[in-house]
Amino acid sequence: MLAKKTSKNQITLPKKVVTRFNGVDYFDVSTDGESITLRPLQLSRADEVRAKLARLGITERDIADAVKWARRKA
């Protein structure tokens, strides 16, 4: 199968490939310098936020404390 890059750096994926990933709108793109790899993503925005909070070590308690602090009267 061939895919051609347009002048706008866009590539249309062959229908045979796309039909294997029904419902996927986003792909993670990576390269090793010689090849391009596409991995289907089905993350919601909420999943992305939860993952970032976990990476940062922020707990539900931290968020509750932050909300409490923000709502206190000056």
Distance from C-alpha of 5 to C-alpha of 13, rounded to nearest angstrom? 10
Report percent pLDDT > 90 for the chain. Answer: 65
pLDDT tens-place string over residues 7-35: 999 999 999 998 998 888 889 999 999 99
Judge whether 27 and 34 are in contact, CB under 8 Å.
no
DSSP letters for 46-59: HHHHHHHHHHHT--
Average pLDDT of 52-58? 95
Distance from C-alpha of 45 to C-alpha of 51, rounded to nearest angstrom? 10
